[in-house]
Homo-oligomer: A and B are copies of this chain.
Amino acid sequence: MQTLSKNQQIIFDLIDKSPEPMKAYAILFNVQKKGIKAPLQVYRALDKLVEIGKIHKIESRNAFIACQNSSCQVSKATAFSICEICEKVTEISSASLSKYLTNFKDKDGMKYSKYNLEFFGLCKKCR
């Protein structure tokens, strides 16, 4: 449990209470009243928060979401479900999935140190 710096805490709190993934410039807009004025201040905090696993980047959306999986200390194995209509994103926490992927070896016997998986479909509400 790492203690966050001022900017990191402000930005984490915002993302954490957002019901949906947030984009960097939406974050910037929201924290300007707290004195964070420049994109770089946002991106630096985001980089650190991703590094320590407090948030994850949804690559297909260029957006950031708080880790919903308390056991996910380091972001080396991430999986998300994304609704293609309402854009709701949920972090998937499935022991069997993570076991399967963590142990996955390709034809060369290459073992990977990290993965990111994004599933797309329609959420309950949108079906």
Contacts and interface: CB of A to CB of B under 8 A. Distances in A.
A112 interface: yes
Interface in A85-118: 90, 92, 94, 97, 100-101, 104, 106-108, 110-118
Copies of this chain = 2
A97 B122 CA distance: 22
Given A59-B59, A60-B59, A112 B104 contact: no
B60 A116 contact: yes
| A: interface residue count bin | 20 to 34
Given A81-B106, A94-B106, A100-B100, A117 B115 contact: yes
Given A81-B106, A106-B92, A115 B111 contact: no
A121 B115 CA distance: 9
A124 interface: yes
A79 B111 CA distance: 14
Given A114-B121, A116-B118, 20 more contacts: A59-B59, A59-B118, A60-B116, A81-B110, A81-B112, A90-B106, A94-B106, A94-B107, A100-B100, A108-B124, A110-B121, A110-B123, A110-B124, A112-B119, A112-B120, A113-B120, A113-B121, A115-B117, A115-B118, A117-B118
